[in-house]
């Protein structure tokens, strides 16, 4: 895990702040007129830039932009101008070039509307802060598809050493939500394409993560218009699970009501242990986790793993 920063507050100042907080940073500073030369503008001020001075940031989570929505925005900008400035940062080594932190849709719409001057707020942000702010902004506006969201989480985890718990806290989601979204990236390209196109929901996709043949199941789901529950049953049948019987014991009856996230966690832990695992939630925050073993060797394996876990007090 990455070493903690010397000043955590400074490192994380962009997390969860949103655009309103970024604009608050620049309020003490007056707007500055364009100097006409290559002198970089002071940080945290409003400025008007030529559209050619601005470029998108390749690490931003959002990759899909609806063309019809962009045309509508372009028409609005053509009539009323850009009402909200873009947030940008100076590009390293290029004093008169800037990268977009927030506002790529407006930048793209300006190109369609042939608007050449764009108001911006210039901020001093590192790569991590840019990714975090872009991810939070898009999540707040529900602009990301499930895979773009998953890629954003994975970047924060892999590139910057954050744990799933930290990412979840930053974006206001549960740890299980973050974990389940990231699992979608393990699906084959064809299934991910259906998710990007909106033909499969995140719930459908999560049910296919542990399937033996997710491509074939995905095709069947789309062709037959199956619900998430039907998809979970289909994926379970492919893995050899028996369908739930409502006349079974109360414990089995309640398992049929489990949501897709809980079922995905059960599958993940079951695959890791090689044994059937059941998770039962009482009120959304507490519950029980049970592991079914078939013989004494499996029981011994569970006890061995527990006894060798760091800090364990289980005798093995």
DSSP character string of 186-250: GS-HHHHHHHHTTSS-HHHHHHHTT-S-HHHHHHHHHHHT--HHHHHHHHHHHTTPPPP-TTS-H
Residues 230, 232, 233, 238, CA torsion sign: positive
Among candidate residues 26, 72, 104, 142, the one labeled active-site is: 104
Contacts of 14 (CB under 8 A, 6+ apart): 22, 125, 129, 130, 132, 133
Opening angle at CA 220, ends 216 and 226, nearest 5:
135
User: Measured in Å, how far apart are the chain's first and last C-alpha atoms?
Assistant: 29
DSSP code at position 264: H
Q: Whose CA is closest to 164, among 191, 183, 144? A: 183
Active site residue 104: yes
> Which residues are known catalytic residues?
104
């Amino acid at each position: 895990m990455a070493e903690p920063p010397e000043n955590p507050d400074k490192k994380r100042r962009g997390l969860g702040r949103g655009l309103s907080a970024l604009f608050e940073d620049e309020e003490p500073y007056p707007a500055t007129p364009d100097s006409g030369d290559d002198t970089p503008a002071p940080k945290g001020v409003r400025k008007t830039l030529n559209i050619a001075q601005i470029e998108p940031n390749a690490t931003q989570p959002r990759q899909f932009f609806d063309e019809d929505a962009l045309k509508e925005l372009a028409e609005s900008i053509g009539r009323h101008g850009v009402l909200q400035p873009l947030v940008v940062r100076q590009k390293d080594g290029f004093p008169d070039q800037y990268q977009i932190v927030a506002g790529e849709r407006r930048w793209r719409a300006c190109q369609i509307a042939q608007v050449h001057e764009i108001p911006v707020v210039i901020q001093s942000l590192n790569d991590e802060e840019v990714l975090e702010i872009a991810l939070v902004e898009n999540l707040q506006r529900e602009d990301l598809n499930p895979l773009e969201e998953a890629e954003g989480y994975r970047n924060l985890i892999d590139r910057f050493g954050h744990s799933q718990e930290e990412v979840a806290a930053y974006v206001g989601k549960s740890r299980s939500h973050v974990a389940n979204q990231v699992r979608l990236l393990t699906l084959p390209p064809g299934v991910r394409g259906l998710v990007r196109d909106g033909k499969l929901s995140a719930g459908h996709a999560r049910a296919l993560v542990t399937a033996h043949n997710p491509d074939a199941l995905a095709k069947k789901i789309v062709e037959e218009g199956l619900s998430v529950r039907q998809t979970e049953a289909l994926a379970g049948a492919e893995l050899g699970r028996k369908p739930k019987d409502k006349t079974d014991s109360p414990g089995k009856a309640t398992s049929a009501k489990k949501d897709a996230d809980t079922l995905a966690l059960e599958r993940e832990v079951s695959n890791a242990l090689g044994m059937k695992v059941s998770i039962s939630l009482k009120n959304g925050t507490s519950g029980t986790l049970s592991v079914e073993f078939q013989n004494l060797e499996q029981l011994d394996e569970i006890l061995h793993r527990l006894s060798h876990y760091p800090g364990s007090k289980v005798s093995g």
